[in-house]
């Protein structure tokens, strides 16, 4: 049986984060000492490592909630796990594409700026006009 500080070290989750997970019921409430200190066992460390790792991979806490629930039903087919993972991966892909298109536009905009004063700054100029605009004068 360990206190939360030890669990924090072993799981990689901050103390406040562990308490937060308990508060949102991602973790069940633990046993307590007479003084009210939370008591943990090895099993909790495993759970927290699982959560920590899943967070590193970008899963939302809702995803993780589902994954943990599935994990506790070993006889089910693992399709649902794959589905969650696949969907998450697609979300990441979309975010990457979104960021890539932003980066491309930004580079384009930034490249058009050749120093000088703000009055002539092409970056600010580009921001003043609607999206399209691979340059070009507006009539």
Partner DNA sequence: CCTAAGGTCTGTAGTTGCTACAGAGTCAAG
Partner DNA sequence: CTTGACTCTGTAGCAACTACAGACCTTAGG
Which residues of this protein are in contact with its own copies, per CB under 8 A? 46, 49-50, 53-54, 56-58, 67, 70-71, 73-79, 81-82, 85-86, 88-89, 92-93, 95-96, 99-100, 102-103, 105-107, 109-110, 113, 115-121, 123-124, 126-131
C-alpha span between 76 and 70 (Å, rounded): 8
**Distant-in-sequence, close-in-space partners of 51: CB < 8 Å, separation ≥ 6:** 13, 21, 26, 64, 68
C-alpha span between 114 and 65 (Å, rounded): 51
- Find residue 60's DSSP bridge partners: none
Site mask for DNA (CB under 7 A), range 76-115, x = bound: ----------------------------------------
Kindly list the residues in this chain that would bind DNA in the complex (CB under 7 A).
Answer: 3-6, 8, 14-17, 19-20, 32-38, 55, 60-62
């Amino acid at each position: 049986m360990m206190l939360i500080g030890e669990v924090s070290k072993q799981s990689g989750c901050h103390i406040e984060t562990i308490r937060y997970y308990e508060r949102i019921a991602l973790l069940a409430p633990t046993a307590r000492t007479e003084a009210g200190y939370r008591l943990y066992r090895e099993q909790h460390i495993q759970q927290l490592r699982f959560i920590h790792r899943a967070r590193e991979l970008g899963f939302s806490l809702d995803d993780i909630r589902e994954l943990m629930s599935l994990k506790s039903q070993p006889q089910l087919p693992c399709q649902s796990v794959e589905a969650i993972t696949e969907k998450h991966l697609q979300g990441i892909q979309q975010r990457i594409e979104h960021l890539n298109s932003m980066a491309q536009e930004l580079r384009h905009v930034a490249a058009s700026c050749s120093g000088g004063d703000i009055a002539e700054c092409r970056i600010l100029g580009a921001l003043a006009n609607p999206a399209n605009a691979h340059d070009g004068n507006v009539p």
